[in-house]
Amino acid sequence: MSQAAEQPASRLADALLRAPAAEDPSDEPWAYRGWAALLVSLFILYHTVALLQHTTPAAGLAERFNRKLAGFLRAGAYMRATSSVQSWAMFAPNPHRTNQFLQVRVVTQDGEELDLLHDIYGRRDYPYFFYDRMGKINRRLLEQERYQSPYAAWVCREWARTHGGEAPVRINFTKMWTKVPPPDKAIATMGFDPFALKLYKEPLKGFDCATTPHAQLPNDIRARYGFTPLPDGAFVDIEENTWRDRADAKARILQRRRAADAGRGKAPAGKAARGEDAAPPAEGGAEGAPGEGGGAEGAPGDEPALANEGGNEGGGADGGGD
Amino acid sequence: MLAALLAPAKAPAVDLSAHMSLATGALWLGLGCAVAFFLVRPELWRRLWLERVDPRPAGLFRIVFGVVVLWTLLDLIPLLRFLFTDEGLWLPAMARKNYGGELRRLWDPEYGFESWWSVVPALWAKFSLFHLRADPAFVWAVFGLTCASVTAMILGVKTRLSTLLSWFLVNTFYSYSPVFYSGGDTVLRVFLFLGLLTRWGEAYSLDAWWRRKRELLGGSLVVPALRKIPAWPLRLMMLQLAIIYCATGALKSGLTWFDGTALYYALSLDHFYRHPVQIQIATFLHWIGFLPLSTWVTKAWETLFPLALVGVALRRFEREVSAGTWPKVQAWRRLLSYALIAAVVGVLAYVGGLTAWYYYSPGEAPVAITRQQAQALVVAGVLAFPALLLGAYSWLRARRPRAHAWVLRWLCGKRLWLGLGVVMHLVIDVAMNVGTFVQVMLAVYIPWLSASELDAVWRTLMSRPLGEGEGDRPKHKPGWKASLLRPLDRLRYRGPREPYVVHHAADEASIRRVALLRMWDLGARLRFETDPSVPAGALVIVTPDVKTRQAGAEAGRALVPILPGFWWLYPWCLAPGLRTLAGRVVLRTFELR
């Protein structure tokens, strides 16, 4: 029988139904004591200093301090690991004063050039209720050109996926923009029609679907849709340089060294004395074969480096955006 | 760091090498002094971070923030294939190479991880499941799992686990590639990590409900209390918000923010406005000076937002001094801590002065002063500013108590800094489409609320406006002034509504079951009466509007409007077929009939 059952019901009702809500019975004001307090304090200190370092521009006389502090704290790695990378340059240093759009056109196997209507210029429905990330991505392609090649590659693949596996020839980009008139000009007419503004155009570099990396619909996706596989060598892949690639490269180097050593043993003494074949090939692609660069971290020459591991992840970091 | 902020955004290349080492050393000294301050005054550190607080603001934040996270995820559905699957923008190899961090070295598509422990560094760097596999079926499955875990987090089911899972899975989407990020996504990611550190499942959660229900039905003699939680993750959230605003305000260094045209341009951009007609309105508002003024207010408000943190600290100090609980420390510790703060200010003055010397160009300045004079001015300013602030505050505190109270309540008060923020973000949402940025920014204001403020919010929501002349509400003479004041008076002067009376049987089990209702009664609308005519375990309600006794499902349904935890059932109550079902859900929750 519970303790309460022995009490009159009215006293229980008073306690449970009318008394003020109970407070946490623990009268300990602090959340931690001893080692736990120390550890939590160290973490708070670390997080706070790393956050301040990460969000303060490394410029002027603070540049070296900022850099050394970041190195000491490994702040970049911590921010990435916790997904706390941030940049707060919203509408900074100025909001954009131009509306920018990227027109995307595809050149088909028939030689026809079609506008794929990926830009929002004159195409958005108003009132604008549902957020359109594609509009933002379209603008970002202009602000950060490194995205243009992967985007063109996707357009090639997507065209192939939706046209029986047949890739187009080329993707062409045109930068389009209108200038927001300064306030004094707008005041003279009390506003302006954004679609009556002069539209400027500038053709940008295009991308061939046959040679741009990853612009070909790969065989596993072709199989998903029942398309015939690509001819051998048609898919332009990228170099990944995984642990296995590096291990293979090292194994090949070792094999060559052994072969060279064995050859030296069989070779005439004169040749060995002259030192031919004696020097091992330098690591890092000295053999000329791509992908053999043991430990080489860089992007291959024909692949634009998109590495975005550092700070440029914060929304709006791309200059005056949202 | 001050030097970094003082240095112009696009400063001309200046050779700083002569003083770089000295400035670096000085800044290390400043950082050391700031850390040493808390070593000398550990009681302040404890007050700042290590105390326990009421879990309700954190609980409400979990729900509101979780809903925004879920909303943002659902918003991604139309782009899921394009952004995350191998039929979209990236083939996984390209995404892995560009954004996979250490994974690109540690994992091979054919052979997997190099070793079992390679998983650890791969997870430590940015990690996305889609870097390993990104076929549409897999991506959709992960998306479904993510939505489920975020929903569990919102409901507070296994909250620590569901928060961890939500953080990991949400970041699987964000870590795949940053091409689609907007400002709101960054806020969301950053605060989700801080949520991971918070024990935000201790209130307004099913976890807390099940624990308290078990204790109450198991024989507790009081309604079990909510467990207090460590304050530091909530304080980190407040610091994070202050950094967001201060950084974005400081970085708005372009001409348009000074000549007052920034908001005109922002509101006229095709990518944001909700309707092109807004351009005419923006032009008009600029013409009458409203937008230039708003531009300057926005920049000042953002840059000075950390004053809100100062206000929180000052109010706490004053409250504890009044209550006599502010810790007394030995004179040497107090003096040493002042010296350390002075040293930090001295370092900032020194580096600030040097920065002025390097970057000030006499030819471009409005007033003709030399570099040395500019340096001296900055040093004097940085040294004098805190001294003046401290002096002015002390003087107000001693001589002008009303002005002092105004500074605490308004100038450094949450009502100014958060209130302005709410207005600003609501205006942004009406005028511009920036995704869920506004919603997430408003959600992250919740950790700033105290439990008593939250209580006041619930009571206000459940209250009624007093009639003219009733209670404290003044009676105005009829006229335009009265018409203008009426809505404000209705908001300001409130009184409690009539209670809902719960009739219950006198047995212990019935008392315990109806006592469960108190845990959901956030606006204190319930009154309880023992009634021998009510069968054991039954619920009978008398509502103020109906006045007749309602029992069973009808009584359960009657409770929905006053118990916020059941507001999600409200639409059901409007549908004739579902009204009874909604009532039964309420009854089942409390094991009543």
Cβ distance of A120 and B354 shorter than 8 Å: no
Chain B partners of A29 at a C-beta cutoff of 8 Å?
51-52
Summarize the confidence of residues A101-106 as an average pLDDT: 97
Q: Which residue has the tokens 């946490």?
A: A24
Cβ–Cβ < 8 Å for B207, B201 = yes
Amino acid identity of residue B339, one-letter, is: A
Closest-CA residue in chain B for A57? B4
Supply the pLDDT for residue B1. Answer: 46
Give the residue-averaged pLDDT of B30-46: 97
Residue among B193, B244, B276 whose CB faces A82 most closely: B193
> Where along chain A do its domains lie?
30-93, 98-225
CB contact under 8 Å between A308 and B11, yes or no, is no
Q: How many residues does the structure list for chain B?
A: 593
Report the mean per-residue pLDDT for chain B: 93
B362 — pLDDT class (breaks 50, 70, 90): confident
Task: Categorize the per-residue pLDDT at A314 as very low, low, confident or very high, splitting at 50, 70 and 90.
Answer: very low
Q: Which residue of B has its CA nearest to A30?
A: B51
- B192 part of contact set with chain A, CB < 8 Å: yes
CB B412 within 8 A of CB B310: yes
Whether residues B49 and A191 touch (CB distance < 8 A) is answered with no
Task: Of A266-275, B217-226, B483-492, give the lowest mean pLDDT range.
Answer: A266-275
Least confident residue range of B74-88, B359-373, B418-432: B359-373
ipTM for the predicted complex: 0.93
Over residues B145-180, the pLDDT tens digits come to 999 999 999 999 999 999 999 999 999 999 999 999
- Would an 8 Å CB–CB cutoff place B579 in contact with chain A? no
The secondary element (H helix, E strand) that includes residue A107 is strand A98-107
pLDDT at residue A271 greater than cutoff 70: no
What phi and psi, each to the nearest 5 degrees, are found at residue B465? -70, 135
Give the residue-averaged pLDDT of B90-114: 91
- Per CB-CB distance under 8 Å, the chain B contacts of A297 are 105
Question: Strands B107-108 and A200-203, how do they pair?
Answer: unpaired
Q: Considering only residues B14 and B560, tell me which one the structure prediction assigns the higher pLDDT.
A: B560
pLDDT surpassing 70 at residue B3? no
Neighbours of B376 (CB within 10 A): 15
Task: Indicate if the pLDDT at residue A243 is higher than 80.
Answer: yes
- pTM for this structure? 0.89
Position B379 scores a pLDDT of: 96
A96 contact residues in B (CB cutoff 8 A): 265, 269
Q: Tell me if chain A has a CB within 8 Å of the CB of B525.
A: no
- Residue-wise DSSP of B97-110: HHH-TTHHHHEETT
Alpha-carbon distance of B313 to B401, in angstroms, equals 18
The 3-state secondary structure of B282-344, one letter per residue = HHHHHHCCHHHHHHHHHHHHHHCCCHHHHHHHHHHHHHHHHHCCCCCCCHHHHHHHHHHHHHH
Size of interface A-B (CB pairs under 8 A): 391
Contact B104 A241 (CB under 8 A): yes
Q: What pLDDT, in 10s, does the model give residues A120-152?
A: 998 899 999 999 999 999 999 999 999 999 999
Please report which confidence band the pLDDT of residue B10 belongs to, taking 50, 70 and 90 as the band edges.
low
CB contact under 8 A, A48 and B280: no
Say which range, A44-48, A126-130, A287-291, B145-149, has the weakest mean pLDDT. A287-291
Mean pLDDT on B287-308: 96
